[in-house]
Amino acid sequence: MSYLVLARKWRPAIFEEIIGQDHVTRTLRNAIRMDRVAHAFLFTGARGVGKTTAARVLAKALQCDQGPIETPCGDCSSCKEITEGVTCLDVIEIDGASNRGINEIRELRDSVAYAPQRNRYKIYIIDEVHMLTQEAFNALLKTLEEPPSHVKFIFATTEPQKIPVTILSRCQRYDFKRVSATMIRQHLEVLLDKEGVHIEADGLRMIARESEGSVRDALSLLDRVISFVGEKADAKAVADCLGIADREWLMRFAKALVDGDASPALGVIADAHHYGYDLRAFTADVLMTIRDVIVIKVCGGDSRATELSDVEIQAMFVLGEMSSVAALQRIFQLLLKASDDVARSGHPRLVLEMAAIRACSVRDMQTVPELMERLEEVVSHVGQGGELSDHEPVEMSAPAPAPATAPMHTVPTPAMIETPHEVAPLDAPEPTPEAAPEPAPEDTPSPPSSLVPESAPESPIRETLPPDTPAPGDVAVAPLSIVTDGFTRETWASFVAQAKADDPLLASMLESVQLVHGNGPELTFAVEKRFYVEQLKSPATRSRLERLLSDTLGSTVSYTIEETAQVDDTISTELTERKDRDVERRRQLLLDHPVTQAALKATDGNVVDLRIEELHYD
């Protein structure tokens, strides 16, 4: 007689033998006892959790010579035929993956009209029912809703979301859960006693963990282990057979990450690679180990979230005490990203090694709350020491400028850098050094309270610009009178700013236009964008612009367009360059500020990025 694998040899024959699905088996037994058996059932769940087995047991319970009965006898011809999987005339098992078309369902629909040949019911078991086509489901709808009294349907699927709701609403649905590792281990121990095989408890735990809640997968792995080691095996032999990392290696690797010691971590990776372990699976095991350490540290060893032995729980508890939850979470996040990278990379060992090195450095990292607390202490200390005055703005010398640079500015605090001003209106008076506008204190955003000492003054520290320097981003615009000698660079900018009040769309085009020839009676513009060329050449735009130019120059003026590949000398490019220079200057002021330097020194850090927020004043 040929060998029968454990998954088939020890397949449950009655409801009581189905493990981990008490919520299903109890309901089905009660329905049989109370004579409330539905005409259609849908069993859903992961692979190997007992869906098809429960369907066969239900069929036996309904077809048994002593039935319908909660516990089929197993001795009658119907029970034996269903158990052995041989042809039973009134129990038809259909593979939905290979009989998925509308023609097969039509044949099934026609056959349900015939009475059962020997038993009480004609039972149709359709496995992987989600593989049926939409047309096949539609053909089944009417039969499924009102089948003959002698017909029962039992559907099984791993993907219920693919089944139309019209089918779902016509069935009684039972969701099968994954079986816990503890329950699988206990089940394997019972079967091994019957088989006369001994495997250490740690080895059985490995098999249960690798099965991922599937009893059939666990029995298949057990078959493999028995073939590899014979009738007696320890945990190391099981690990070697299944190709998974030994628990000792995982703990050594996790301890190295927590200790911040990259050398033993890289050694474990080298050993795993040498022994031929799949590094993707190894990374997943390490990730689960770190997860278990965090769960045990947070919940304690009696948490139901872990399925570990007492020795493993104690070892992970000791490991968790060596680090904080925040540090362990950072290690977990690094390994979580590494697991995806290892799975996709052609060089998984290199990716895992670099991830291990990064994970070993998390001990030196500080959390954001810790950094904020230290920054508050730094700011408070600087303010009390006199470097930051509590009542007056602070002057700070910037790095020594080149001889041709502008005079030095008053340095702002990091939170109070002013942003470029808005463009002044055309009718505003020309700014003079003596009449610098005073900022409105009530419109000025105040720095966060966590970065300023409690005794800090309410008036903000502002940056003052030298009298002869226009505000960054400003365009000096004066009221424009008739220009008889043609446009200069300054008067052209004033003309565009004045035109913006009357025609913003036209002014936006002129800001991107280079004035090549500014004297009448014909001006010349260089234009880069094709859209602007077409717009400026259109009769409506030409008429409007020539009228504005003629009014400004005091004589009839026209213009020509030169289409070019690139223009550099435009108002928009000048504004952009001014803004970039201003942002860079402000970044340097922030970097050189004593609060910034003190914070860098106190946290032993460096500046990764620095952003200047643009503040707009109404």
CATH of the domain at 336: 1.20.272.10
Write the DSSP symbol of residue 483.
Answer: -
**Cβ–Cβ under 8 Å, residues 52 and 155:** no
pLDDT exceeds 70 at position 544? yes
Same domain (yes/no): 173, 184 = no
Note whether residue 287 is domain-resident. yes
> Is residue 440 a part of any domain in this protein?
no
Please tell me the predicted confidence (pLDDT) of residue 471. 46
pLDDT tens readout for residues 238-266: 888 887 767 788 889 999 999 989 999 99
Percent of the chain with pLDDT over 70: 78
* Residues 225 and 298 placed together within one structural domain of the fold: no
C-alpha to C-alpha distance for 426 and 240, rounded to whole angstroms: 83
Residue 307: the pLDDT is 72
Residue-wise over 386-416: b if at least 16 C-beta within 10 A, else e?
A: eebeeeebbeeeeeeeeeeeeeebebbbbbb
149 and 199 belong to one structural domain: no
Dump pLDDT digits (tens) for 403-448.
443 333 334 444 443 434 343 443 444 444 444 444 444 444 444 4
> Following DSSP, what letter does each residue of 81-141 receive, concatenated?
HHHHT--BTTEEEEETTTS-SHHHHHHHHHHTTSPPSSSS-EEEEEETGGGS-HHHHHHHH
Same domain, residue pair 502 and 514: yes
Q: What is the rounded CA–CA span in Å between residue 420 and residue 423?
A: 9
Structure confidence at residue 382 as a pLDDT band (50, 70, 90): low
Dist CA 366 CA 153 (whole Å)? 61
Would residue 618 count as lying in a domain? no
Using the Cα atoms of residue 47, residue 48, residue 51 and residue 56 in order, give the sign of their dihedral: positive
The tokens for 19 are: 């493990």
Average pLDDT of the segment spanning 604-615? 70
pLDDT at 1 over 80: no
**Long-range contacts of the stretch 26-33 (C-beta < 8 A, 24+):** 27/174, 28/54, 28/58, 28/61, 28/174, 29/70, 32/61, 32/62, 32/67, 32/68, 32/69, 32/70, 33/70
Minimum mean pLDDT range among 206-220, 254-268, 394-408: 394-408
CB atoms within 10 A of CB 91: 24
Q: Are residues 151 and 280 located together in one domain of the fold?
A: no
Residue 478: pLDDT band with limits 50, 70, 90: very low
Please give the Cα distance from 198 to 206 (Å, whole number): 15
Domain presence at residue 448: no
Q: What is the pLDDT of residue 356?
A: 93
Q: Check whether residue 131 and residue 182 sit in a common domain.
A: no
pLDDT in tens, 92-129: 999 988 888 889 889 998 899 899 988 899 999 999 99
Domain boundary residue, one of 311, 335, 365: 365
Q: Which residues contact 212 (CB under 8 A, 6 or more apart)?
A: 46, 178
- Using omega within 30 degrees of 0 as the cis cutoff, is the peptide bond preceding 68 cis? yes
Q: How many CB atoms lie within 10 A of CB 565?
A: 5
How far is the C-alpha of 369 from the C-alpha of 375, rounded, in Å? 10
Distance CA 270, CA 168 (A): 51
Tell me the pLDDT tens digit for each residue of 136-163.
999 999 899 889 999 999 999 999 999 9
Q: Is residue 341 part of a domain?
A: yes
Which one of 124, 151, 177 terminates a domain?
177
Q: Are 292 and 306 in contact (CB under 8 A)?
A: yes
Whole-number pLDDT of residue 301: 63
* Same domain flag for 49 and 165: yes
**Final residue in a domain of this structure, among 365, 382, 410:** 365
Q: Say whether pLDDT at 398 is over 80.
A: no
Q: Which domain holds residue 91?
A: 6-177
pTM, to two decimals: 0.57
Number of domains within the chain: 4
Judge whether residue 330 has pLDDT over 60. Answer: yes
Question: Residue 446 and residue 188: Cα distance in Å, rounded?
Answer: 68
Strand partners, 153: 40, 124
CATH number, domain with residue 197: 1.10.8.60
192 shares its domain with 159: no
Residue ranges with strand state E in 266-415: none
State residue 130 phi and psi, 5-degree precision.
-65, -10
- Residue 413 included in any domain: no
pLDDT at 389 over 60: no
Q: Assign residue 116 the CATH number of its domain.
A: 3.40.50.300
- Quote the tokens at residue 473: 């981003």
Residue of 327, 223, 358, 336 whose CA lies nearest to 287: 336
What tokens does 383 get? 């303010």
Q: Is 89 within a domain?
A: yes
Under the banding of pLDDT at 50, 70 and 90, the label for residue 312 is confident
How far is it, in rounded angstroms, from Cα 566 to Cα 261? 56
